[in-house]
Amino acid sequence: METFKISRIKYNLNIHIIKYEDLLEDVIGESTFLLKFLGINWEIQMKDYRSIAIKRGRINTSSYAQIS
């Protein structure tokens, strides 16, 4: 964490911090703030990401279980 703090200042990093607890409490709100930070609009399909991931079928990444 100290390396991150030093790098953030040294390289003037533009970051968005999300606390896990806040995300669990308000997924849509926290996601909306993140999307605004990234310059991306909220889309209703994002709310049901699990169904969309399952319909897509197998995703060939090591994080497949985390996605679905």
Tally the domains of the chain: 1
Neighbour-count burial of 5, counting CB atoms closer than 10 A to its CB (0-12 exposed, 13-18 middle, 19+ buried) = exposed
The pLDDT, as a whole number, for residue 37 is 95
The pLDDT, as a whole number, for residue 22 is 94
Let me know: does 19 contact 13? Beta carbons within 8 Å: no
What is the number of other CB atoms lying within 10 angstroms of the CB of residue 22? 13
How many C-alpha atoms does 42 have within 13 Å on its Cβ side?
Answer: 12
Q: What residues make up the domain containing 35?
A: 2-67
The pLDDT, as a whole number, for residue 62 is 66
Two tokens at 68?
A: 């679905």
pTM above 0.85, yes or no: no
pLDDT in tens, the chain (68 residues): 899 889 989 999 899 999 999 988 998 899 889 999 999 988 877 777 777 777 776 666 666 566 55
The pLDDT, as a whole number, for residue 59 is 66
